[in-house]
Copies of this chain bind each other. A is one copy, B any other.
């Protein structure tokens, strides 16, 4: 059994990691930490885990982390970069669910996250943990930068089209919609129930932090610079991301459906739905699947790609567990075999 530690376990991605790890056949939870909940028992904070996790939250800098095989950071941005180095030096594998190791360019990180990067030396060692893109690199890595929720949904939507070079790279639009849990579990006015229920709006339409992360990955896939417009929106629901991608086809239909089916044929967690489908977020709720469907409207050459994930699972904790499975040579599906909870 792998001994796992979760730093920042009192947020939603932390809670989801605990739920998945508590039921993982090859892992056990050895340490959980939280600044705000230090000293409290996990089931006191998360009654849903009564009987599943009985640990107490420790402080972030507990030495117990040193005894783990793998440590997950489910912390706000800017925390993992201060702690990961020491753990890596002790031979512990690290999966960071925050943004600290996602951007290869420290300057870009500073620009979007507003502070200098504290562990530039580690950026080269970090592998971007999207298994469908980087499975082999992840298998031999020690430090995995778990992708953001939006990036996961957008990149999976575009990999086949960019790899096959069938769309115009200079004008891609990703109109993204997320449930409110993406904003995390913290006291704030704008994510209060009364502020978000029965309402819908865009946010960060002038530029969102996930934009450079997505572009970095798409550039690599395309082998060239991609121009992306990305607008996120807040949906009055807890879980789920739906991305609607618009891209101009370079020549006619190009057999898009077949291209997507072929690319993802062996990817258990990516489901290319039948032509004409409209994936809904509840069809992936609580599961690690990404479902994708393709559409075109008569008389135009715009490819419409619909892509849904559960932001807390494939968009965060589930993908982190998938990465752990790859890191340690376990069955990639271990602990992630649940069907979606619907309705």
Contacts and interface: CB of A to CB of B under 8 A. Distances in A.
A117 to B, nearest CB: 21
Interface stretch (A44-52, A98-106, A157-165): A44-52
25 contacts: A12-B194, A12-B343, A15-B342, A48-B342, A51-B339, A171-B248, A171-B302, A177-B233, A179-B198, A181-B343, A185-B194, A185-B195, A191-B194, A193-B238, A197-B343, A199-B282, A201-B278, A201-B281, A201-B308, A205-B306, A207-B297, A231-B295, A239-B343, A286-B286, A338-B338
A31 interface: no
A181 to B, nearest CB: 4
Interface in A168-205: 171, 173, 175, 177, 179-181, 183, 185-189, 191-203, 205
Contacts of A282: 48, 198-199
A242 interface: yes
What are the 5 closest A-B residue pairs judged by CB atoms, nearest first?
A201-B280, A199-B282, A48-B342, A205-B295, A48-B340
Given A185-B192, A207-B298, A338-B338, A47 B242 contact: no
Contacts of A47: 273, 277, 279-280, 283, 291
Contacts of A295: 205-206, 231
Contacts of A276: 206
A38 to B, nearest CB: 16
A139 B289 CA distance: 38
Nearest to A20: B339
Contact of A244 (B171, B233, B242, B285): B233
Contact of A200 (B19, B50, B242, B300): B242
B233 A246 contact: no
Contacts of A280: 47, 199-201
A299 B279 CA distance: 32
Contact of A189 (B187, B206, B211, B227): B187
A284 to B, nearest CB: 8
A229 interface: yes
A20 to B, nearest CB: 9
Contact of A202 (B227, B240, B286, B306): B306
